[in-house]
Structure 1
Amino acid sequence: MSDQTRIVLVGSTGLIGRAVIKEAVGRPSVHLVAVARREVPLPKGARMELLLSDTEHWPDAIAAGRPHTVVIALGTTIKTVGGDKAAFRAVDHDLVLQCAAAAKSAGARQLIVVSSVGAQFASKNFYLSVKGEVEDKLAKLHFDRLDIIRPGILRGHREGPPRRAERWGMLFSPLVDLLLVGPMRKYRSAKAADLAQVILTLAGNKQRGRLVLEHDDFGRILRRG
């Protein structure tokens, strides 16, 4: 279909990536192309392309997807990489920027990136500092449209070894969310499925500019969609 939005998804094996794949089922306006290093379990009814390659060849895979929109949902944790800050930056900084630059070279007019609430280059928190640094550098790529998604704790089933802190966070987040009011609302948790719907609603948006989207923005977008 000529009016389909071609979306290339990078980070398809993670919590948000898998949710995007699931939520894309039954959306005729979306042509989804997932880029990954390994096979991705596909939900029933999924009609999409899956391009497998090592990360060093992801720029070629992104170009092959002929994207209108590229979604980057990459990320690891300091604990996952054993406290190795260089290993963390290799994914959350280097690989994200590599994929974003490839998206620009491939002609994508829109980039949607999952970042984190509190992201700020000047933050004393290493994780948030890296996220903020990446956001600043993404803006300098000058996409027609740049959407930065800043969720709090993500709720949903993750594949692989459980992350203890996240498990407890997901368990208690509905109660904690009630205490987060006013300016603190942006730190409320978010369901992966809801974020996936937000991403798919934003994809293909013709308006230009850079948008930073947090908790209350997600709700407004979902109500519109």
Structure 2
Amino acid sequence: MKNVIIMGATGATGSLLMQQLLNDINIAQIYVVHYRTTPFKQNEKVTEIVIDLAELPHLNIDADIDCAYCCLGTTRKKAGSLAAFRQVDKDYIVNFGKWIANHSTAQLHVISAVGANAKSPSSYLQTKGETELLLRQLPLAALFLYQPTLLHGKRDEFRLMEALAYYPLSVLSLLPLPLLKQQKPIAIEQLANAMYQLSQQVTSGHHIISSLEIQQY
């Protein structure tokens, strides 16, 4: 029986991943870390920890954690500013990784993005790249970085740019070029499936899960 922890459980990917974790008979306890109460609170397998995410270094869990998932993410528009976006998509995620490294031997699974690069002119991809670099520096038992391209599926908010990009990318990905095939939009269910399935492996080291690999789930 395993204990797992997840941050970002109410998002599009996190909520689908949660359903798989709840249905997994080999998981004894799911620690849901969130800044407010969640719909999962009443489930007997769930221990909900409501915390200001800026206080993650002070998170207190006595149980041994076997696997950790981070599905946290926002957009610059939703966050309100570039600084607020970077706080969520870098600071909170790295602090979560630090807590995992310092308090457990759990493998950590984190959603990043295709094209993540600390030197990118795109503030989004730059932030993702910086986050990846900082996570790689931590003494984690195993680190899985998922780099999906455009995600599509049911969300609790409408994202105009994603909607506009979906069809052009879908068409371009049909061309017989590896670089374009990697740009094929990823169903949110595929990403959640990949995170769940790969977390069943006993492994170590750093792993980049490309968009092409995610497409297989």
Normalised to the residue count of structure 2, the TM-score between the two structures is: 0.87
Residue 139 of structure 1: how far off its partner (Å):
0.6
**Which residue of 100, 106, 109 maps to 2:97?**
100
Q: Percent identity?
A: 24
Q: How far has the Cα of 1:98 moved from its partner?
A: 0.8
SS for the counterpart of 1:63 is coil
Q: Which residue number in structure 1 is paired with residue 154 of structure 2?
A: 157
Of 40, 49, 52, 2:50 maps to 52
- CA gap 1:114/1:182 in 2 versus in 1, 3 angstroms: same
In 1, distance between residues paired with 2:70 and 2:113? Answer: 13
Over the aligned positions, Cα root-mean-square deviation in angstroms equals 2.5
Q: Deviations over 1:156-195 (max 9, x none)?
A: 2112x42221233446654443247312322221111121
Work out the CA distance in 2 between the residues paired with 1:18 and 1:64. Answer: 25
* 1:188 alignment partner in structure 2: 184
CA contact (8 A) 2:40 2:46 kept: no
Task: Select the residue among 103, 111, 116 that pairs with 2:108.
Answer: 111
1:29 matched to 2:26: yes
Q: 1:132 aligns with which of 129, 138, 161?
A: 129
> What are the Cα deviations for residues 36-81 of structure 1, in whole angstroms up to 9, with x where unaligned?
1223234998843322222134344463463211111111112223
Using a 3 Å threshold, how does the CA distance of structure 1 residues 176 and 208 change in structure 2: closer, same or farther? same
Q: Aligned residue pairs: how many?
A: 216
Per the alignment, in what secondary structure is the counterpart of residue 178 of structure 1?
A: coil
Code of the residue aligned with 1:76 in structure 2: it is: T
Name the CA distance, whole Å, in 1 between partners of 2:127 and 2:176: 25
Tell me how far 1:133 sits from its aligned partner. 0.9
The TM-score with structure 1 as length reference comes to: 0.84
Deviations 1:117-170 (A, max 9, x none): 0001111111101111110111110212110000111112112x4222123344
Amino acid at match of 2:30: L
Decide whether aligned partners of structure 1 residues 170 and 6 sit closer, same or farther in structure 2, where only a CA change above 3 A counts.
Answer: farther
Which structure 2 residue ranges, 5 or more long, are not aligned? none
Distance 1:144 1:14 in 2: 26
The aligned counterpart of 2:61 is 63
CA, structure 1 residues 8+45, in 2 after alignment: closer, same or farther (shift >3 Å)? closer
